[in-house]
């Protein structure tokens, strides 16, 4: 309800309570696999690890608070145990052939335990444990009390602990995680791979995800009216009387406006929503170029003004508008969506992605000129959305399971309530390629029902579903924004995009997936035995397209709001078109580490305004002297001229959204491209024949980090020859050492590598490798060294500064 909740016959003023606390709960866990040894004895979870669910607090085995876990491994969260495992031909190809799943039951069940203290002074507060994501099929116990399962590996969930805690004493939480069964068809990891939080509030408090902020901005952007809704829960035994205060803080932290409601009540055991409108003059708008954030501070006060609860909500002031003929508008300005699809794993760390690594990944995508991100195919980590908010990246936020039962709606509700205040989120997706129903009558009813459910929770954004077939029936009929998963699939249903739009002029339309090219970074002729495919742009399938085919189609049609490439980053699993020994996909514009493939420069040329000129391949082709080498140029210059060792090979005109090609007989030396705009030389770039590797080069993405035990720096590792030129085909094994921090993952972008992800060494793949370094909780210097036989070593010094 909106406004005042009905009060019980007895209403009391709320007593002073300790303020809200939200404590990070990641540190100090113990972990063992389901068949781990317990003091030398076999530990069989199937035999004795479960409580009797019907007996409160009666747990046995590892769920028993008295269980001896001293032999278990100590670790901090987030944690993905699948990435630590070796590769196995018996493993699931869709999950990257890791030794986990039904064929590896010994590695598929994990147990986590943590002891924690609750002060006696917390008695009377409401206390809950919040899990941002556990893959998957998790069960939680606290102090032997069974707190229920969570089958999904993607939905955030919380458990109330208030009545079962030992106040003034120690408590034990136990989590059993079963990753035997896959939820998706891509690498999903295993374990408590997102953050965990311990939240403490007064009985009267803002509900979890209990605020909802919307903006109305005048056409001249002179004023914004912010509607701030807050759901207040009363978990006390009697009705509560209180005041509600809402304050908006500007990007600099200063107060812009405050409004209050007085004389409010909420009945015992009830919740109610209250709304206030707060005007902001001359608002600073959130945009792709200036992603400024505001903060709503919601304060629940007693009748005497005492603060009972404080809840802060970051948000952005912006407007969005979708038009079926013109596409998408942000703050009144037309924006073509230049998007990528992405799963949530990264080289070295799997799905246990540190917060700073989300920033790294979004920055890499923005370097391409990308402005939009589709969360494929599940609710994202909260920290990903926060990175998109801070850095300026638009988001399609996607639901995992399609259906209309209470179970399905519950998970959909959690996603929308959690994420609807993020200014980056512009579109909800209720599903992806639902083959059994997308062209059938149930698809009409299911999509319409889910769409209506989402619109009740958030009427400010449209809803899409990604469709791969059955156009004209099923999902495509009722959905607000038709998501095209490949224009060839639409043609397979008998429509072009032009024909569909003409027949459905009121329906929004965008390319939720396109391209799906398969390319290996640094490879220029197929080596299928090594599972490597050439990096020239090509159309590898009957359903996808090349980068040029896909983008040219969408760029020419304004009614198509934009296109989302499959994918931004390579990911583990789904190693199309290969099976074993390939372990990862090659769909990405970037590899698993974020190193750009040549196709990245195609998108940089046509997604950004800055002049760009890129020539490839490299020019180290010993033994191929005189043989014709295909030379391509990506550029947004008007014309490009190519030179080999100073001799012109011709000047060509660049067609918009295209590329240029030459066939060049190989001769060692320098291949140089000269770009022209309006007939004048604008840019030059070149590739040279290099010597052998002579020296390692270590390049961190930044040189300072927080001493919080979680922050990370990402290092690029490469080699140069004696003249300081990058060696493009180097494959040297590099060994790493560190003092003052720790190495949490390594990678090199090779989609068929079987080297361990978590190690102190890694081979270069076509000239590059990556190492991810994490801070300790001690300030000072972190020294990282890279060494390789026969090469000059590289060293880098990072500075670890005090954390908040």
Which residues are catalytic, by number? 433, 513
Q: Could you tell me which residues are beta bridge partners of residue 733?
A: 763
Burial 26-63 (b: 16+ CB within 10 A, else e): beebbbbbbebebeeeebebeeebbbeeeeeeebebbb
3-state class percentages of the chain: helix first, strand second, coil last, to nearest 5? 15, 40, 45
Cα–Cα dist 490/496, whole Å: 6
**Which 3 state secondary structure label does DSSP give 215?**
strand
Token digits of residue 445: 């009813």
φ, ψ (nearest 5 deg) of residue 609: -90, -25
DSSP state of 417: H
Q: Could you tell me which residues are beta bridge partners of residue 373?
A: 340, 395
Closest CA to 361 of 575, 587, 592: 592
Distances in Å between the Cα of 622 and the Cα atoms of 370, 689, 774 are 37, 9, 40
Q: Give 391: exposed, middle or buried? Use CB within 10 Å, 0-12, 13-18, 19+.
A: middle
Cα–Cα dist 208/226, whole Å: 21
Token digits of residue 592: 């698993």
Cα–Cα dist 52/800, whole Å: 48
Residue 260: its H or E element: strand 255-266
Cα–Cα dist 377/185, whole Å: 10
DSSP per residue, 439-471: TSHHHHHHHHHHHHHHHHH-TTS-EEEEE-S-T
14 Cβ contact partners less than 8 Å away, ≥ 6 residues apart:
202, 204, 236, 240, 241, 242, 302, 303, 308
Cα–Cα dist 732/717, whole Å: 11
Burial 410-421 (b: 16+ CB within 10 A, else e): ebbbbbbbbbbb
Q: Give 25: exposed, middle or buried? Use CB within 10 Å, 0-12, 13-18, 19+.
A: buried
φ, ψ (nearest 5 deg) of residue 715: -100, 135
Whose structure tokens read 């032009």?
498
400 touches 378 (CB < 8 A)? yes
Residue 555: its H or E element: helix 547-555
Indicate if the alpha-carbon torsion angle 661, 662, 666, 672 is positive or negative: negative
Cα dihedral: 78, 79, 83, 85 (round 10):
170
512 Cβ contact partners less than 8 Å away, ≥ 6 residues apart:
341, 374, 396, 429, 432, 464, 466, 467, 483, 484, 485, 564
Closest CA to 396 of 309, 445, 475, 463: 463
Distance of CA 722 to the CA centre of its chain: 40
Token digits of residue 721: 């020859």
Largest CA distance in the chain: 95
**Which 3 state secondary structure label does DSSP give 22?**
strand
Indicate if the alpha-carbon torsion angle 351, 357, 358, 360 is positive or negative: negative
């Amino acid at each position: 309800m909106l406004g005042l909740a009905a009060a019980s016959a007895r209403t009391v003023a709320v007593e002073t309570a300790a303020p809200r606390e939200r404590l990070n709960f990641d540190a100090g866990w113990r972990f063992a696999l389901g068949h781990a040894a317990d003091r030398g004895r076999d530990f069989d979870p199937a035999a004795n690890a479960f409580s009797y669910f019907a007996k409160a607090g009666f747990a046995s085995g590892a769920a028993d608070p008295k269980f001896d876990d001293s032999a278990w491994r100590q670790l901090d969260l987030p944690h993905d145990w699948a990435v630590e495992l070796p590769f196995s031909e018996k493993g699931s190809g869709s999950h990257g052939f890791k030794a986990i799943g039904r064929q590896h039951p010994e590695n598929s069940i994990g147990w986590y335990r943590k002891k924690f203290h609750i002060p006696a002074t917390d008695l009377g507060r409401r206390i809950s444990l919040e899990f941002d994501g556990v893959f998957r099929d998790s069960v939680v116990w606290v102090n032997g009390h069974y707190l229920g399962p969570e089958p999904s590996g993607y939905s955030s969930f919380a458990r109330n602990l208030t009545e079962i805690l030992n106040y003034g004493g120690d408590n034990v939480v136990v989590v059993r995680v079963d990753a035997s069964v896959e939820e998706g068809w891509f690498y999903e990891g295993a374990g408590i791979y997102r953050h965990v939080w311990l939240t403490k509030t007064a009985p009267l408090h803002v509900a979890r995800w209990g605020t909802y902020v919307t903006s109305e901005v005048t056409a001249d952007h002179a004023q914004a009216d912010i509607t701030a809704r807050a759901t207040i829960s009363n978990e006390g035994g009697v009705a509560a009387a209180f005041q509600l205060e809402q304050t908006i803080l500007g990007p600099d932290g200063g107060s812009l406006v405050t409004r209050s409601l007085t004389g409010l009540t909420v009945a015992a055991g009830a919740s109610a929503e209250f709304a206030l409108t707060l005007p902001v003059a001359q608002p600073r708008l959130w945009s792709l170029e200036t992603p400024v954030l505001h903060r709503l501070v919601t304060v629940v006060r007693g009748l005497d003004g005492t603060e009972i609860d404080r809840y802060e909500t970051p948000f952005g002031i912006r407007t969005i508008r979708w038009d079926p003929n013109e596409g998408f508008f942000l703050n009144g300005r037309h924006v073509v969506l230049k998007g990528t699809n992405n799963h949530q794993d990264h080289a070295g760390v799997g799905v246990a992605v540190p917060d700073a690594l989300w920033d790294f990944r979004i920055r890499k995508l923005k370097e391409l000129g990308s402005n939009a991100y589709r969360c494929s195919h599940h609710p994202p980590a909260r920290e990903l959305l926060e990175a998109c908010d801070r850095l300026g990246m638009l988001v399609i936020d996607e639901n995992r399971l399609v259906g209309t039962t209470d179970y399905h709606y519950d998970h959909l509700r959690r996603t929308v309530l959690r994420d609807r205040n993020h200014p980056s989120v512009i579109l909800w997706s209720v599903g992806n390629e639902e083959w059994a129903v997308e062209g059938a009558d149930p698809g009409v009813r299911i999509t319409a029902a889910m769409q209506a459910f989402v619109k009740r929770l958030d009427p400010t954004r449209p809803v899409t579903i990604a469709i791969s077939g059955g156009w004209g029936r099923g999902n495509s009929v009722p959905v607000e924004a038709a998501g095209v998963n490949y224009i060839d699939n639409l043609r397979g249903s008998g429509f072009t995009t032009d024909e569909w739009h003409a027949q459905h002029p009121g329906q929004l339309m965008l390319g939720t997936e396109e391209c799906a090219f398969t390319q290996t970074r640094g490879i220029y002729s197929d080596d299928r035995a090594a599972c490597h495919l050439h990096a020239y742009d090509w159309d590898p399938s009957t359903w996808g397209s090349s980068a040029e085919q896909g983008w040219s189609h969408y760029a020419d049609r304004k009614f198509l709001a934009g296109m989302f490439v499959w994918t931004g980053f390579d990911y583990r699993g789904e190693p199309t078109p290969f099976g074993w020994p390939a372990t990862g996909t090659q769909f990405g514009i970037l590899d698993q580490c974020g190193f750009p493939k040549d196709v990245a420069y195609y998108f940089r040329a046509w997604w950004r305004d800055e002049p760009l000129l890129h020539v490839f391949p490299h020019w180290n082709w010993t033994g191929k002297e005189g043989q014709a080498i295909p030379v391509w140029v990506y550029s947004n210059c008007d014309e490009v001229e190519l030179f080999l060792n100073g001799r012109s090979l011709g000047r060509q005109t660049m067609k918009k959204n295209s590329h240029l090609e030459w066939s060049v007989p190989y001769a060692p030396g320098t291949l140089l491209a000269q770009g022209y705009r309006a007939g004048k030389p604008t840019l030059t770039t070149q590739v040279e024949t290099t010597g052998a590797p002579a020296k390692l080069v270590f390049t961190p993405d930044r040189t300072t980090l927080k001493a919080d035990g979680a922050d990370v720096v990402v290092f690029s590792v490469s080699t140069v020859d004696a003249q300081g030129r990058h060696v493009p085909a180097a494959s040297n094994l590099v060994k790493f050492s560190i003092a003052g921090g720790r190495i949490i993952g390594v990678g090199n972008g090779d989609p068929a590598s079987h080297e361990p992800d978590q190690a102190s060494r890694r081979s270069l793949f076509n000239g590059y490798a990556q190492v991810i370094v994490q801070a300790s909780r001690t300030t000072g210097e972190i020294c990282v060294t890279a060494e390789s036989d026969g090469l000059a070593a590289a060293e880098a010094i990072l500075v670890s500064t005090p954390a908040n």
